[in-house]
Structure 1
């Protein structure tokens, strides 16, 4: 008889070494989980009443039209039974092969074993049958409010995505193969990645998407030359160093979103919009917003406008000696730029020569993909979270955005990191995406309640700073750039907002790609094209159908529009002046503040 001591294999020592590592990592895992401070349960899912309403509606459908419900159920039973019988028949005949019809394609099932191996193919096909049945059941519910049905469809999809066989080790051929090939080392590395992520986020599971050690703000990203020429509680104002001998007289000031950091516009020299604008002969200023902490609890849109927008534009005009500026707003900063323009209209102030909006929502009558998160149960949960912490923490927003594309932004990275033991990639865009910022409590609720839920700005009844602000008051020459596949600021919603603005001179550009790549789209790449159509009275669909498509970046199109509103050429300006001394080099200090989890 052979004893355990006599057993020998080339991989035994490595296996024992890996098992020892697992024991150590398990203790760290338990420690990380013990430090977890759960967030408000309302932010983890919909109010249970949604499912109760769905059950009631489904029962009402059953009573009204039992034939339809039976047909749906019998169809599902029939597909499942047929699938099971075919698999058993193949086994009985000794055929360890999949059926001739291996089912529909799905990018999650890219490994050939999903089609060539009978075990994995059976699992894949049954999962797709189950997912289809759930989707069909939701679609057939009639006695349910359209908004609630839309939410139910979203959460049902989240459940089916979460239950995909690729998300479980025993039913993921890629993970199983990797574990065998590495003699279990991939599992050890995966567990280490899991523990590291938990420890980095106080026990909260936030999947790390990028190798954070590969980047340094001001080192290999955000390196455009400039100086911080002003700092207050809300922002640092950066003036960029000229690269041309002369510049347009009227300066440009960019207001980036304060949900993330401004350096999305300056990741690297090849795709830096900041460098591009400077190289075209403009004096460029960029606002770098502070990363809010609990002391900003009572900071609202008023402070962003007064101490951010109005202060920045005043400083830019003083430094450059001009009466006007060309202002640019990106995403939520574009929304707030529109609020600022309405306020200036009320005051009879014409300091803004033109306005540019990047992926900006101003009309929230259709909440798009955010419908599941903009109903009272979620907003009430956010309000309770803010009452405790004073801010909306960055990771809550990041998680919300990620669940809009859960397969790509949650499950696939988790599989690669935790099951396969892979190191996250060194990708600058993903690094920026993870370098989020917290939102002040008051500002968050003003935005969610007044703008998103009640759509008060578009309807001309948003009360702020002693004025009633109205989207129709935005009457300066303007141009709006939206992105065709943007899931955060859907282009048709951006288009609708522009249509409601009061300007007699306005243009709309539709770029290919999404919220980031549609904007960060340098001409040198020749990657994404754009659509142009001067007729903004058309419906969004008709506008695109009748638009002219242009290959390549929209940047030159915008620059040609901007140059006509930027005055004569003057000698290039160096950053700051005697009244506005240089405080430090770009990218400044505020951009380096990381959000607390």
Structure 2
């Protein structure tokens, strides 16, 4: 290529932009190739993305529900016209202010994002007139649509709830932050990298598609940064018992003296137990061991089709009650303290009601972490339990004998799409960045299957019919009555919980027959629970009994930091005297393998 000399005398390549053009052209070709690969993978998996909790099923549900809302508004054209006029007037105001701003006049925004809305944190969303216009137009439309749905007359509350849920999915998806040409950070990155970010993003989309099973699993963290038993779930212990559905782990003591009464933890079977044993600094199990408790935890199996008929009753008998029997024999003790997290708490509450009816007093206190026993206010998960969806789910599960973990994970992500779906779409696929290592999100991606019989029973009997709270549930012919559970209870809810809403947990806590200490933690379903004292994060509230959560909060005391010490102080009073520490290998159950065991390592 011919060279030229500038005034400084240095030789330079002319038309330096040609090299840039070549790079862009090369990246466009690469993007097309990666896109073709993605299309090929999508074509191969199109049939798998069907059934309950799939994109297709949720679009169908959204269409039906929002059609009910639209029908009511069409039947009142005058009111609809008034609502449309209000929207267009707000658009006019926004346009007029945008024009004035472009002419150099300072103007106040028509609308602002909610505090904590990270979609529009890039400075250009405010400083650039065009991006600011797109942002405000979107926010005006979204809030108008939400208000319209809330004010719809002629529909019942379950339909309104479903409509708002599906509308939120749509509105979150169409945010201008999710598109390459209307996101300022993506535009800048595309220009500066000559579109290499889009190539990398398409490559990462293809990789996510290939590793996904039934439903696309967007990478939320660096999956190569963690390994169970290496840097997660590393608290020392032994598996001392196992059967078809669980392994029981006893942890090695960290103190010379321990409390006499041990702690048996019942985690959710929907996810793996090591949410309670993440990296050592975040491990509730490790912390409890260091406080002098002898800790046992159930590690549920990751079931396959052979366990399709394992029922809720089986999980109670072969899980909770069998674990209780093993602990009793291992330590030669009658009384045990128990803890249940999320659906593990629901299972524990049913087991306690069963034991109370039969005069079994081996569990002397119970701790419930974000666990529901009354499901009348169970939040957005109620959207997925109408008769039609349960029928589709049962039909799908009957083919394999289980619900694949990817489908349940998709549901949980849909509860918070602004935080758990679209930020990763933008980061991974538009910006072409790899997600950062995060232990909690690694655990979130490490989902489990659920036996068809157990999962169908749980959704139908608890979520749909609320039988436990109503006193209508029986197991082995034994009526389950929560009011007959008269042991001391520590009941933790989380303020921003989308899975077990705080009000739902509060209502359920009032159904127990004994003394209940209700505590409300800051943050959500996971971060509110996994909040070690050393982090000095969030807060919790404690108070005296009240009729409603609102009344309870008015009289509650706020304490900064973790709820863990508060709970330990409560539990220690119910754990007996101090005794010499127990070696897991010294009991009548010979260790099978080291913690965390083999069941938890099975991935789907």
Shorter-normalised TM-score: what interval?
A: over 0.9
TM-score by length of 1: 0.93
Residue in structure 1 matched with residue 8 of structure 2 by the alignment: none
| Corresponding position: 1:210 with 2:217 | no
Helix, strand or coil: the match of 1:500?
Answer: coil
| Alpha-carbon distance, 1:351 to partner | 1.0
Answer yes or no: is the 8 Å Cα contact 2:277–2:284 preserved in 1. Answer: yes
Any conservation in 2 of the 1:223–1:266 contact (CA below 8 Å)? yes
Asked if the contact 2:236/2:595 (under 8 Å) is kept, the reply is yes
SS of the equivalent of 2:433 reads coil
Distance 1:98 1:413 in 2: 37
The equivalent of 1:572 in structure 2 is 581
Which of these residues, 529, 537, 552, is aligned with residue 519 of structure 1?
A: 529
Of residues 328-337 and 100-109 in structure 1, the stretch that sits farther from structure 2 once superposed is 100-109
Paired residue for 1:100, among 103, 107, 112? 107
Residue pairs, 1:105-504, within 5 angstroms: 105-106=112-113, 107=117, 108-202=119-213, 204-503=215-514
Q: Is the 8 A contact 2:320 2:348 kept in 1?
A: yes
1:589 aligns with 2:601: no
Give, in whole Å, the separation in 1 of the partners of 2:220 and 2:570.
38
1:57 is aligned to 72
Post-superposition Cα deviations, 1:127-179, rounded to whole Å, max 9, x if no partner, equal 22322332232233111112211211221222121111111111111111001
Describe the SS at the equivalent of 1:144: coil
Equivalence for 1:558: 567
- Native 8 Å contact 1:299 1:443 kept in 2: yes
| 1:205-256 deviation digits (Å, cap 9, x = unpaired) | 2211000000011111111111111111011111101111121111111111
- Other structure's SS at 2:531 match: coil
Question: Residues 383 and 47 from structure 1, CA distance in 2 versus in 1: closer, same or farther, beyond 3 angstroms?
Answer: farther
Alpha-carbon distance in structure 1 between the residues aligned to 2:236 and 2:430: 42
In structure 2, what is the Cα distance between the partners aligned to 1:182 and 1:203? 34
Written as runs of structure 1 = structure 2, the 5 A alignment for 1:22-101 is 22-36=31-45, 37-40=48-51, 41-46=56-61, 48-62=63-77, 66=78, 68-84=79-95, 95=102, 100-101=107-108
**CA root-mean-square deviation:** 2.2
SS in 2 for 1:355: strand
Aligned 8 A contact 1:361 1:497 in 2: yes
- Compare 27-36 and 484-493 and name the one that shifted more: 27-36
Alpha-carbon distance in structure 1 between the residues aligned to 2:67 and 2:561 = 50
Using the alignment, how far apart are the partners of 2:75 and 2:157 within structure 1? 16
Deviation at 1:25, TM superposition (A): 1.8
TM-score for the superposition, normalised by structure 2 = 0.92
Residues 32 and 202, structure 1, Cα contact 8 Å, conserved in 2: no
Question: d(CA) in 2 for partners of 1:440 and 1:160?
Answer: 34
Q: Distance in 2 between matches of 1:203 and 1:301?
A: 25
8 Å CA contact 1:113–1:173 kept in 2: the answer is yes
Per the alignment, do residues 309 and 202 of structure 1 end up closer, same or farther by CA in structure 2, a change over 3 Å counting? closer
Unaligned runs of 5+ in 2: 3-14
Q: For residues 352-406 of structure 1, what are the alpha-carbon distances to aligned partners after superposition, in whole Å with 9 as ceiling and x for unaligned?
A: 1111111110011223232322323332332222122221211111111111111
- Quote the residue 1:528 is aligned against: 538
> How many residue pairs get matched?
582
Deviation at 1:483, TM superposition (A): 1.2
Q: Cα distance, 1:7 vs. partner? A: 9.0
Q: Distance in 1 between matches of 2:534 and 2:407?
A: 36
Cα pair distance change 1:282/1:114, threshold 3 Å? closer
Q: Which residue is 2:552 aligned to? A: 543
Write the distance in 2 (CA, Å) between the matches of 1:230 and 1:318: 12
In the alignment, the residues of structure 2 paired with residue 360 and residue 48 of structure 1 have an alpha-carbon distance, to the nearest angstrom, of 32
For residues 16 and 59 of structure 1, what CA distance do their matches in structure 2 show?
Answer: 50
1:551-575 per-residue CA deviation (whole Å, 9 max, x = no partner) reads 2222111111111211222111111
Name the SS of the counterpart of 2:469 in structure 1: coil
Q: Distance in 2 between matches of 1:98 and 1:409?
A: 39
Unaligned 5+ runs, structure 1: none
The verdict on how the C-alpha distance between 1:556 and 1:125 changes in structure 2, with shifts beyond 3 A counting, is: closer
Alpha-carbon distance in 1 for matches of 2:214, 2:200: 18
